[in-house]
Amino acid sequence: MPRSNRPRRPASGKAASANSGSGRSAKPGARPGGKYGPTPELDLERARTGIARRESAPDGEWMVRSITASRAEKTYICPGCSTAVLPGIAHLVVWSEDHLFGAAAGLAERRHWHSNCWTTRTYRYR
């Protein structure tokens, strides 16, 4: 029978109490102390689409975040075609990274675009 590579449990209670101070818990995957409860589940859809990407264009630096159809809950007006981006329609949220008054002002002026309107936009110089 092949040997296991796992370490053996300590035989005495003295060795077990010495290991308890090392920060490891007895259960695999349990949090130290166990007073915070179970780990919350990760929302995979939000984790996959929640990260903004940077795009460079002749009209500046832009941060672009994808919104999936299931996360689109409100109606917005697309600045590219001036029609509504309806709830349940996948779209993009776009804001200026190099705003005149800083990144916080650019984020405050973010706009919701249809994906096709964003990719086919004309670069208007202001």
In a domain, 26, yes or no: no
In a domain, 50, yes or no: yes
Based on the structure, what is the number of domains in the chain?
A: 1
pTM score above 0.85: no
Nearest to 88 by CA among 74, 72, 104: 72
In a domain, 9, yes or no: no
In a domain, 1, yes or no: no
Mind listing the pLDDT tens digit of every residue in the chain (126 residues)?
Answer: 566 777 777 766 555 455 554 544 455 555 554 566 777 777 676 666 668 889 988 888 899 999 989 889 999 999 999 999 999 999 999 998 888 888 888 888 999 999 999 999 877 654
Structural domain range at position 56: 44-119
pLDDT for 107: 85
In a domain, 29, yes or no: no
Distance CA 64, CA 110 (A): 10
In a domain, 24, yes or no: no
Question: Helix H segments across the chain?
Answer: 13-20, 44-49, 103-108, 115-119
In a domain, 19, yes or no: no
Nearest to 112 by CA among 88, 49, 80: 80
- Sole residue written with tokens 């920060």: 23
In a domain, 80, yes or no: yes
